[in-house]
Structure 1
């Protein structure tokens, strides 16, 4: 079945539908990762977005339940160059097309994703429509009529409605050992060292796994949880998760975080970094086309060390808006934007990228241990 991808600036691409059929709209963005399409599809940070993968063939290793980053997909539609309809991987439980159809997510293949990416890099992020029902002109009109990402609160759609203790499988899986014939090994979890509360703004499962691997017992709470409710639990620390939408639209969260700063050690990732900036009194702004992929170079200004990082965000912190007692600790080497910050006197720090990347580079995984050490020093 023919499908159309239409951009709000009037450009149209024609391809072939897979997954579900129908019409959907959202802000379109591109991801440069060579693998990890399942993690992208199930990442709550992509809520409200149409995602295009720049790697040419997608679906090679199918879908499996163990690699999901949440209970289901969050993207509006999936744009690729070529679909692999017969996956080859011993862990695969179903092909990508079947998974998208099951969850009523539109897919479109046969798109020149290189041309699409170059267009978005030069023109900037924009609204789009993927459809099997409309012609090009009607699809462009639908894209123009869809809501903008700026000012949008998608956190309320993805956050957990009830608090819960994370007790799912969190052991680190090791590669099969051909010498012994073992099909897989798990590394034992360390004993719990610290109890923390994790705000769910669109929390990825692998963040929870990595926190547990670092010795944390994690209670996950809703995005609407108040500072007084968190402090009543008396955790050793507070974690601020990733999530979708515009951080400036989340004033109700900013106010609660202001009351937590200085009361407990705090660590934030991605949206958590941006929300901390607002709680400090700073601002965020929308990037031209965002950072999404596993190849973003980041410099630690304290050590001079360069890390290759996994990222997924369309907004960034304005460094000039931060108060004097907050220092920028990390910057993106492609465009100089803020990638990390730290309060100069209080136990609070955050990064814009994903140290739990799966798949992705592990250069930044040390931040979970750094959080544990921050809590230890605060206790002492």
Structure 2
């Protein structure tokens, strides 16, 4: 596809660009890593937590447009990193990043992005880009940063158009840890940092399957009273059972749940057949649904932010939640064995399920992200509380 004749000329001083697959070209100033990256453009409405967003593996192969204009002004630090593996490939912001002003800052945001291989683009009308995503859906695009301002726009356009998109893509194997790990991290406290989890074998043992997990999930499981062993995404049923778990946790992660489910769902279904307690978050929630007979689908724009209201159907309580997902469990065709437990008050989409007759439930949102800020911690307590403690 040729670039539309209305493509704006490169303005003076433009060192960054976003090229959408339909030929739209958005100019700005690049910062962070020098280079180019392809992904799906989404938007996030959170006013805080940009570093957590950029290091969340669920954002793998995505370019995040931040609707809040002041991104980067608190710098970056080593405590707010959610994962050591890939997160978002780039970000788009309204204002240029100013020098940091926060007592916890250890590095400037632009320098941190450069060190992590992430590309930033500033000076963009993020309201217009967000409206475009809302109206037309999340587009594929290439983000690029070149200090000399030289870009091969036709080549960038071809790369954006050739990228197949997230639908049908399994990314969990790319962001999952590759070795088993006994989780030792504790909860964070201001002025103290992260504590350490004890290895008390009298505590319920949770085996957490890592499809692209955020570390704070494991800290919350520890806080709720469990000891945690984390295993790679493709760990077999036999490998899980060998660890003698009291319950199994299914983590968040990127990509299409149906694609990841090719190898994950049979294992989850076998765990359900054995009456193993199971708790899933985000991608884990979606694959729990697939294992129980539900189906998933790609959303028009997805949900990403720290201010999403979710209604708990059992009692009508509304939780303020953090979300990051572009796929969802289809609540228009839930099978008889699946009960809907939570719904989004934005669009009525599914945000929680339980499996009838099993100790198994999942939520679409992220209770570990401290929205509310503690509206949803009860979910970790609920899961750990249903586990049979060892003799």
Under a length normalisation based on structure 2, what TM-score does the superposition of the two structures give? 0.90
Residue number in structure 1 paired with 2:111: 98
Aligned to 1:228: 238
Q: CA deviation at 1:320?
A: 3.6
Which residue of structure 2 lines up, in the alignment, with residue 180 of structure 1? none
Q: How does 1:249-328 map to 2 (within 5 A)?
A: 249-250=259-260, 251-263=262-274, 264-328=276-340
Residues 159, 185 of structure 1: CA spacing in aligned structure 2 closer, same or farther, 3 A cutoff? closer
Q: CA deviation at 1:360?
A: 6.2
For residues 143-193 of structure 1, give each alpha carbon's deviation from its aligned partner in whole angstroms, at most 9, with x where no partner exists. 11112110101101011111010013x13414xxxxxxxx55888978662
Matched, 1:218 2:218: no
- The change in CA–CA distance for 1:185 and 1:165 in structure 2 (over 3 A counts) is closer
- What's the counterpart of residue 209 of structure 1? 219
1:73 Cα shift? 4.6
Q: For residues 24 and 171 of structure 1, do their structure 2 counterparts lie closer, same or farther at Cα, with a shift above 3 Å needed? A: closer
Q: Distance in 2 between matches of 1:78 and 1:258?
A: 37
| Contact map agreement 1:36 1:358 (CA 8 A) in 2 | no
Which residue of structure 1 lines up, in the alignment, with residue 11 of structure 2? none
Aligned to 1:107: 120
Q: Which segment is superposed worse, 118-127 or 64-73?
A: 64-73
Q: Does 1:353 align with 2:365?
A: yes
Check whether the contact 1:280–1:322 (CA below 8 A) recurs between aligned residues: no
CA distance, structure 1, for counterparts of residue 329 and residue 341 of structure 2: 12
TM superposition shift of 1:10: 2.4
Work out whether residues 273 and 350 of structure 1, in 8 Å CA contact, stay in contact via their aligned partners in 2. yes
Distance change >3 Å, CA 73–CA 96, structure 1 → 2: farther
- Conservation of the 8 A alpha-carbon contact between 1:18 and 1:108: yes
The answer to whether 1:193 aligns with 2:181 is no
Kindly indicate whether the alpha-carbon contact (under 8 Å) linking 2:86 and 2:175 is maintained by their aligned counterparts in 1: no
Correspondences of 1:26-175 after superposition (within 5 Å):
26-131=39-144, 132=146, 133-168=150-185, 170-174=186-190
Going from structure 1 to structure 2, the CA distance change for 1:27 and 1:85 (only over 3 Å counts) comes to same
Matched pairs, number: 370
2:349 corresponds to which of 320, 333, 337: 337
Separation in 1 of the partners of 2:94 and 2:374? Answer: 28
Matched-pair contact (CA < 8 Å) for 1:281–1:321: no
Deviation at 1:83, TM superposition (A): 3.1
User: What is the Cα deviation at residue 211 of structure 1?
Assistant: 0.8
Task: Give the distance between the partners of 1:285 and 1:270, measured in 2 at CA.
Answer: 13
SS in 1 for 2:167: coil
The answer to whether the 8 A contact 1:189-1:212 is kept is: yes
